[in-house]
Amino acid sequence: MDLSGLNLVYSTDGGKIEQPKEKKIAPESDGIIRLHRETKGRKGKGVTLIKGLQLDEKALKALAKDIKKRTGTGGAVKDFVIEIQGEQREIIKTLLEKKGYTVKLAGS
């Protein structure tokens, strides 16, 4: 069998094959939104973490965008937790309570 004229190419790239997207589900919550302050791993810079929201990714990102706009700071959404730069817990607490959430300040 002569394979000299055959150009065999192997690729690990998936090409045009679409991988099924796994829909992420928010972790179970008791219905209370908890606001944490954290500086760990951020070179001393504090962030406010919002945990316990039972929203899908799209709604979570929209809420984060609204909070960032109202506080005038940056932030991100990671693993169903909203991170807002700086100590913003009081502002965020009043904002979420106006939206009908039960909010508690957690941590120091």
Whole-number average pLDDT of the chain = 85
Span 1-5, mean pLDDT? Answer: 64
Four-way CATH pick for 32-105: 3.30.70.20, 3.20.20.70, 3.30.780.10, 3.30.70.890: 3.30.780.10
pLDDT at 10: 65
pLDDT(17) > 70: no
- The two structure tokens encoding residue 38: 């954290």
pLDDT at 81: 93
Burial (CB count <10 Å: 0-12, 13-18, 19+), residue 3: exposed
29: Cβ contacts below 8 Å, ≥ 6 apart: 52, 53, 54
